[in-house]
Chain A
Amino acid sequence: MEQLFAAKEIVISCGSGGVGKTTTAAALAAMAATRVGGRVLVLTVDPARRLANALGLEGFGNVEKPVPASAFAEVGVAPRGELWAAMLDTKQSWDNLVQRHAPDALTAQRILDNPLYQNVSGRFVQSHDYIAMERLFEIHTGGQYDLIVVDTPPTRNALDLLEAPQRMAEFFSSRFLRLLIAPYRSKLINMASRPFYQVADRILGSQFLQDIAEFFILFQTMYAGFVQRAEAVDRLLHDKRTTFIVVSTLEAAPLHEAEFFVDALSDKRFHLGAVVLNKVLPAYLLEAGAAVVAERLVKDAAPIAAEVAPRAGCAEDLVERVLTEMGENFLRFQLVAQREAEQRSELAVSPEVVATVPYFESDIYDLGGLLKLGEQIWS
């Protein structure tokens, strides 16, 4: 892991929602800053409040901020480098993008003011995915950091993330988009003569249709800039300085998604740095001998309690209840641990890239916690 982080400039953490992507990204960035050194930036999407606090991100949008040295000192760590953090503000990033690519300030303002813009910037062509990559590109080009670790928004379909730049370009060059706005561009085509417009008009009303078309016409003024940029972003993702880390738990759905993602990465010739399996239950739950003991505790709780209670100086009925609970509890967790172990053994990924992180019993909310987690992935 240390080699990977020393060799790469961009690390992208991806996976389903709720698997610990954000925490993993932050932990890895903290580790890199500590062990590898240099200026390390973690770009997060939606950190838990306490994590944001720990990184000093509260109340800051797109601005990058250093994590204060005192935060490291508090947990007794002297980092070799610096850790910086920034949050991804999708709306703000979109606005910046428009301002950059619009032909003039007036057009930019008209786009930003269009009632449809908000909606489009909030959603279309997986805009969150795209904007995360776009922002990464911007920061990377700025050349301020030795390493950038990026957390990504939860994706339904992992491919969306990889294809976002391409799709963005396709969207704006689409034939159908041209068809939609054609009547508004040239009065030569009589709207009413086309069945589509008749239907659309009946459903949406012509005024609204016109609003939509106007919006796209405005947006198209940015076409060339957008497409060029999207292509540059795509190149950066394919660059050999960029690597992907796939995070998952051992639950069926996220793991399935992770496998899919790993395949997609190799299909599309992206670099897979590591698969991080998070929240893995402790190995002792799988011990066969322990299961036998647990079963005995459940079945023979009374006689065992009779033997133990006087020696331990406890009430026998209490001991009996405790022993039964302990045994049952073990068997319950073992069931889940076994299921997870099976899932893991079916994972078709070469083992040298797999890192396992144990289930932490309490939440991670400070730098100390992050580093503890980071060490697990590192080793």
Chain B
Amino acid sequence: MTDLLDRKLLFVTGKGGVGKSTVAAALALLAAERGKRTLVCEFDAKGNLADFFESGPTRFQPREVAAGLFAMSMDPEESLKEYLTLQLRLPLMARIGPLARIFEFVATAAPGVREILTVGKVVWEVREARWDLVVVDASATGHIVGQLTAPQAINELVQVGAIRQQTDWLVDILSDPVRTGLVIVATPEEMPVNETIELAERLENETVVDLAAVVVNRVLPELFGRAEEEVFDRLAGGAELNDALAADAAPIVEGARLAVTLRRSRAEHLDHLRDSLPSDLPLLYLPYLFVRSHGMRSTRQAAAALGAELGY
């Protein structure tokens, strides 16, 4: 199997709020640190990817946010304009005002138009070989399949027209596991785990894209082994600790109990996830980052943790 970061295009998806942007940012930073010229693209224009690099807002034009790492955010309208000028060579048309607004209606009604402009842009970047790696902070699980199957949808609906001619090379790149892969981010909780399992099945059945890895995010550390846990229970039940400290240790005991229970209830979900995914699929664990705030520093930590998981 191809090394994750040796692919050219990685889509990162997952349920809302599980850490897609965190993981996309970390993978991109890791790649850049390893000398790859990397583009990270956020599909959600209202997203917060920029926060993870503390770089100020991202735009359609890629901007360097760290050495060798460029960030951009998707804008289907900009993508349409770029497509019209670069590929159809219609420089003037692209500036016609109503076009953009009518585009809104067409894209609303016509399946695949918006999607193909979104996915098409990042695949185009790969095709043009401008980058060693393109990481996509993609849409949540609910939308990703629709986006990845847009070329097929377009093929079925549009019989002629320029947009149809694009679908061949798009499918070529998307379906090549050497170049393209998808990463699902999940937290060890009920809903994210279920969505991950469902998405893995849908990817297999409905799309041409290869599932490259699942990142399990916010994994809590294991505090105690079996022997330690016995000792903990003993100490928690007695007065010895309070006596020795001449202080109240109850909050610390409760804190430890909280961590143990949380980890345990999450372990069940994790087992379910592991059992339900193909056994040869890499699972990468990203620990819960106990940090004061989230920014470049925590992105570096996440990158380092993922790097360790990948054996770097």
Q: Footprint of B on A, CB under 8 Å?
A: 16-19, 48-50, 115-116, 118-120, 123-125, 154, 156-157, 174, 176-177, 179-180, 195-196, 198-205, 207-208, 211-212, 215-216, 251-254, 282, 284-285, 287, 289-290, 292-294, 296-297, 304, 307-308, 311-315, 318-319, 321-323, 325-327, 329-330, 332-336, 338-339, 359, 361-363, 365
Contact = CB atoms under 8 A, between A and B. Distances in A.
B231 A289 contact: no
Contact of A297 (B163, B194, B252, B290): B252
Closest 9 CB pairs of A and B: A205-B161, A17-B16, A18-B17, A290-B251, A119-B111, A361-B261, A332-B290, A205-B160, A284-B251
A176 B262 CA distance: 53
A282 B254 CA distance: 9
B252 A312 contact: no
Contacts of A156: 44, 46
Nearest to B166: A203
A202 B161 contact: yes
Contact of B228 (A196, A216, A251, A321): A321
B109 A124 contact: yes
Contacts of B109: 116, 119-120, 124, 212, 215-216
23 contacts: A19-B17, A115-B157, A119-B110, A119-B111, A176-B101, A204-B106, A204-B113, A204-B163, A207-B159, A208-B158, A212-B106, A282-B258, A289-B247, A289-B248, A294-B255, A297-B249, A312-B238, A325-B228, A326-B252, A327-B252, A333-B259, A334-B255, A361-B262
Contacts of B162: 202-203
A252 B291 CA distance: 13
B99 interface: yes
Given A48-B190, A116-B111, A253-B48, A312 B102 contact: no
Given A174-B105, A297-B245, 17 more contacts: A116-B110, A125-B108, A180-B105, A199-B96, A199-B99, A205-B159, A207-B159, A211-B157, A212-B106, A284-B251, A289-B247, A293-B251, A304-B245, A318-B231, A326-B252, A361-B261, A365-B190
Contact of B106 (A115, A200, A296, A314): A200
Given A16-B17, A361-B258, A311 B99 contact: no
Nearest to B290: A332
A318 B235 CA distance: 11
A333 B255 contact: yes
A51 to B, nearest CB: 9
A156 B256 CA distance: 36
Nearest to B252: A330
Contacts of B189: 363
A287 B99 contact: no
Given A18-B18, A179-B102, A208 B194 contact: no
B310 interface: no
Nearest to A49: B194
Interface string B263-304: 001000000000000000000000000111110000000000
Contacts of A297: 245, 249, 252
B147 to A, nearest CB: 12
Contacts of A314: 231, 234-235
B48 A308 contact: no
Given A202-B88, A293-B247, A308-B240, A208 B110 contact: yes
A363 B265 contact: yes
Contact of B93 (A18, A125, A195, A254): A195
B16 A18 contact: yes
B157 A335 contact: no
Given A119-B111, A318-B228, A195 B96 contact: yes
A334 to B, nearest CB: 8
Residue of A16, A313, A332 with highest tally of chain B CB at under 10 A: A332
Nearest to A181: B105
B37 interface: no
| Consensus secondary structure, chain B interface | helix
B164 interface: yes
A361 B96 CA distance: 57
Given A116-B111, A196-B96, A204-B106, A325 B224 contact: yes
B224 A322 contact: yes
Contact of B17 (A215, A254, A329): A254
B90 interface: yes
B192 to A, nearest CB: 8
Contact of B223 (A124, A251, A325): A325
Nearest to B46: A156
B158 A205 contact: yes
A188 to B, nearest CB: 19
A326 B245 CA distance: 14
A196 B243 CA distance: 83
B219 interface: no
Contact of B258 (A195, A289, A315, A333): A333
Interface in B147-177: 157-164
B241 interface: yes
B67 interface: no
A98 to B, nearest CB: 15
B252 A293 contact: yes
Contacts of B66: none
Contacts of A296: 245
A118 B254 CA distance: 52
Nearest to A198: B93
A362 B265 contact: yes
B158 A199 contact: no
